[in-house]
Amino acid sequence: MFLPKLVTRRSSKLVYSFCRSVQHRKPIEIIPSQRQKPRFDSAQFEASIKPYAEDVTTENRYEKLCNMILPLANYSYDEQLNIKQGIVEQLFDQIGNAILWDKRIDSQVLKYVEFHEGHFCRVKPIVPSPLTERYRCKDDLSCGYDVDGQKTIGFYINPLNNKKFPNTLCISPIHLKSMKAKHILVVKHFDQFLKQHPLPVCANTNILKKDQYWRTMSLKSNEQGHLMMSVVVHPQSLSKVLWTEIDQIKKDLLNYFIDGPGRECEINSIYFLASAHNRSTSDRNPLELIHGEEFLYETYNGKKLRISPESLFQTNKQASEISFQTVFDHAQLDEHTVLLDIGSGIGIHSIMASPIAKKIYAIDPLKSCIEDGEFNAKLNGCRDNIEWICSYAEANLHRILKKIGDLHGDNSRLVAIINPSRYSLTNKTISIMRGLPSIQQLIYVLNKTDQQVMHNLYELAAGERSKLKEVGRPFIPTDIYPIDMLPHSTNVETIVKCIRV
């Protein structure tokens, strides 16, 4: 479906009057446009400071990287919050106007808007992050070549023109104020390890070339300072029978980080993976533990959770606890509620809901997340009311929802928590959700606001595509709760409360 052209807040009253007049055959009220202060355009701003490999020099490389990763780093924190508040308000002005503009607008939406005098998509004040520096508990880094041609570990800066400038540069992140001190120490040592190791690195993880080996290194840590490192290499032409060369690479890592200079990093776990694929599932090619403890443990909102090398969890621990509590508070669970936790991750929402809700269905496409969730539920003494469902294909989700709806009937109260960063929804799945009258409320957790997410919100509120097919009463976003999960960037996590109208 083509999303209608989005309009600005300046014209929202005119759009609302137009839609009302078309629906109820009333004359259009022409409301004069008012001059407003220009808003901060995050996309245009980031495009204006985005670095390209052609512009990067030895002198400006760290500044260029900071502009790319943390574009608001030169603003005061109060200014950052004001900018992010404006970004979220502008975004939901647009989606709200798109809902009202569409010719398929549902009459129930118009009645709700009329009763509330046009107020929906209400954006609440942004919640600041408890930590503004050294807050990242996970970092995913790439191996590559620096401006001076030396091997390093960091983030890629791509060229503007691949034909004229074919090199993708890799810049060390040790000067970024978001990285933890222990992560910086590991990065420095891994940089030295790569420089002294005989095998070359990959110049770009998306284009795997011959005779390029070292690919990526990921770090995870908890508040106690425990570290988990995962290293991925391309096996290339190394022995495929005995893999003696691969074994030597593992020994080289252990010799440096456990017995050599890197032991000052005090790494608790080292995982290793040799993979020739850009994307490898844990079932087909699992990470191998070559040193230390199998898992990390972290406490969120009073719940102790296990974290595995493939677990999906928030980058900012303190801010994520605010997010979890906000979701829990606005889900309004009771002993009669059936909760659908779609994109459950390591299970925090399901575990928090277990003492209260009647039944919980935790759905996630990653087997490792389901395994972590099941373990974490037992670890926290949860009731036997959580059913863990591993669903890889989007095609299966609508069948699961339909089965749950048939099982519990229209008399039960269903609440859905959706995390689309792990599980995007198709129109078919949205139709199933709208067709379950027992679902009265959705809580959308948006870690990013891409076109697919906006399309999902729009389809939840849109009218029927055909009079021959009923899709159920619509959901509209009523309250939006922004949380600053990544200070110094333009990213904002938003929790969107959608109600049935």
**In terms of Cα–Cα distance, which of 343, 329, 208, 230 is closest to 276?**
208
* Alpha carbon distance 73, 46 (integer Å): 12
**In terms of Cα–Cα distance, which of 450, 425, 451, 469 is closest to 104?**
469
Q: What is the DSSP string of 394-442?
A: HHHHHHHHHHHHHHHTTTSEEEEEE-TTT----HHHHHHHHH-TTEEEE
Q: Which residues, listed in sequence order, are joined to residue 300 by a DSSP beta bridge?
A: 303
Please, is 144 exposed, middle or buried when counting C-beta atoms within 10 Å of its C-beta (0-12, 13-18, 19+)?
A: buried
What does the block give as tokens for 164? 């004229």
Query: How many other C-beta atoms lie within 10 A of the C-beta of residue 196?
Result: 10
Give the largest Cα separation in the chain, rounded: 81
* Alpha carbon distance 309, 290 (integer Å): 13
Helical packing angle, 451-461 and 427-435, nearest 10°: 30
**In terms of Cα–Cα distance, which of 253, 321, 328 is closest to 291?**
253
**In terms of Cα–Cα distance, which of 275, 343, 286 is closest to 309?**
286
Q: Which residues, listed in sequence order, are joined to residue 363 by a DSSP beta bridge?
A: 342, 389
Are 434 and 498 within 8 A, CB to CB? no
* Alpha carbon distance 302, 321 (integer Å): 10
* Alpha carbon distance 295, 314 (integer Å): 16
HSE of 385 in the Cβ direction (CA atoms, 13 Å)?
19
Say which residues have a Cβ less than 8 Å from residue 278's Cβ, sequence separation at least 6. 205, 206, 208
Q: Answer yes or no: is 419 a known binding residue.
A: yes
Three-state DSSP class for residue 177: coil
Strands 493-500 and 413-418: unpaired
Q: CA separation (Å) from 184 to 64, 67, 91, 133, 258?
A: 18, 19, 35, 13, 17
Please, is 395 exposed, middle or buried when counting C-beta atoms within 10 Å of its C-beta (0-12, 13-18, 19+)?
A: exposed
Q: Answer yes or no: is 364 a known binding residue.
A: yes
Per 3-state DSSP, what percentage of the chain is helix, strand, and coil (rounded to 5)? Answer: 35, 25, 45
Please state the residue numbers annotated as binding site.
Answer: 314, 364, 419
Please state the residue numbers annotated as binding site for S-adenosyl-L-methionine.
Answer: 314, 364, 419
